[in-house]
Amino acid sequence: MTICESLHTGLARRELLRLGVLAGIGAAFAPRLAFAASDPSLTPKVDAMIARWVGPGKFPGIVASFGLPGHDPQFTARGSDGFNDPDAMTPDSLFRIYSMTKPVTGMAAMVLVGEGKLKLDQPVSDILPKFANMQVQVTPDGSITELKPAKTSITIRQLITHTSGLGYSIIQRGPLRAAYEDKGLVPGLFSRTQVAGLFRGVPVNSLELFADRLADMPLVYEPGTRWSYSVGLDLMGRVIEVVSGKAFDQFLKERIFDPCGMNSTFFQVPQSEAGRLTTNHAAVGNILVPIDTGKESVYLDKPPFPFGGAGLVSSARDYDRFLRMLAQHGTIGGHRVIGEQAVRIGTANLLPAGVQGPAMMGPASDFGAGGRVGIGAESGLFGWAGAAGTVAGVDMKRGIRMGLYLQFTPPNALPVLGEYQEALRQDLMALMAAA
């Protein structure tokens, strides 16, 4: 399978969070876990897994994070930022987190919901009038001229749960995907060069223009009837800036990043921080080919617009602070960032009635504000993954946070994420036995 085929048949679907590792751990276990926080390593199996995957012919470097309630995270960092980059991989190395941006945008929406400036079931057309009379494909991914009027309006809830009916160029097929690419509705970047299979066209140069052109595109499905990966969180960025009166990236900085102490999370990496930016790779068979090095990265350039679905670069330390804020129901460092009720709602099931959540790459799940919500044995889990191998989440019932950070695409090309899942499960079982 070529890079292109891998990307368009599975990349987006394999961004689904693989955090069933906490299934079966009782809530009563969390207090006992806290006593182990001073141990030399809480995750020896994860440590060993990372050691196996770092080195010549494998990955240049990997970072894992693990945090217990009320404690700073433990990090495992090994290797360097790139095969030709001798800088040591650290918890402050910078990673392209791609779709792990989505929970951040989802929670930014919940800030406004919590303040009463947005309502979950409010029509998007209240804020963006061009979305008032949407058309739907008669045949999903079929003709873009055989259309029918949408039966209902797109809502805020639907935007942040991928149930709006909007498309996504990384999963659609046929003329609709071509139309998205032709109109620059491709909210994401991989490299300065047009890497075959990863280049999907030149994005439009503003979030306002992105929204305006998207309003002219037909929907794939009727709003509120089906979970389908979409550009909903990118459009949510435009909603946020219209409602708040601030540029979307400014809103995130002022309302989430700065209050959380996330000083290493960017849409554009400052040149002064380029030395911390890791190298991204394309997996061609078992070979990793550099496609975006830290010192020459496309993320050093100002993006065409802030991609609310896939645009952020962050560090393991920074993203853990975001997760810790959620685990603490909206507070961190003694400061409230998001209202408690807004966090509880956003990390729980927000799917429209009767709509099933994603069921690829793991058990069926619900969906919240930009992230997967576990059900059954996974109840309490919230998080998401990224197109370049990153994955992170929080157990909202027990306050446990976890994440893995490396850089390769598509992330299903090598079994490293599955091995991480199993290693973390074993570490948690060992902690439970020893508690």
Q: Which residue ranges make up each domain of the chain?
A: 3-92+265-434, 106-244
pLDDT of residue 198: 66
pLDDT of residue 360: 62
Tens of pLDDT along 10-34? Answer: 444 444 444 444 443 333 344 444 4
The two three-digit tokens of residue 311, written as one number? 């645009």
Write the class of the CATH domain 3-92+265-434: alpha beta
The two three-digit tokens of residue 315, written as one number? 């560090």
Q: What is the phi/psi pair of residue 385, to 5°?
A: -130, 170
Mean pLDDT of 37-52: 86
Q: How many residues does the chain have?
A: 435
Residue of 102, 75, 99 lying closest to 89 (CA atoms): 75
- CA 238 to CA 91: how far, in whole Å? 31
The DSSP code sequence of 248-269 is: HHHHHIIIIIHHHT-TT-BSS-
What is the b/e burial string over 161-184, where b = at least 16 CB atoms within 10 angstroms of the residue's CB? bbbbbbbbbbbbeebbbebbbebb
Least confident of 132-146, 246-260, 283-297, 334-348: 283-297
Q: How many helices (H) and strands (E) does the chain have?
A: 13, 16
Tens of pLDDT along 370-412? Answer: 999 999 989 999 999 999 999 999 999 999 999 999 999 999 8
Taking all residues of the chain, what is their mean pLDDT, rounded to a whole number? 90
The two three-digit tokens of residue 261, written as one number? 């102490």
Tens of pLDDT along 145-179? Answer: 999 999 999 999 999 999 999 999 999 999 999 99
pLDDT reading at 1 higher than 90? no
Least confident of 252-256, 358-362, 419-423: 358-362
Contact indicator for 279, 294 with CB cutoff of 8 Å:
yes
Asked if the domains at 3-92+265-434 and 106-244 fall in one CATH topology, the answer is: yes
- % residues pLDDT > 70 (the chain): 89
- CA 234 to CA 25: how far, in whole Å? 35
**DSSP assignment, residue 30?**
H
Mean pLDDT of 95-121: 98
Angle at 12 between CA 9 and CA 14, to 5 degrees: 90
pLDDT of residue 63: 98
pTM of the model: 0.93
pLDDT of residue 309: 98
pLDDT of residue 431: 83
The two three-digit tokens of residue 282, written as one number? 């394309």
Q: At 96, which helix (H) or strand (E)?
A: strand 94-96
Domain 106-244 bears CATH identifier 3.30.1130.10:
no
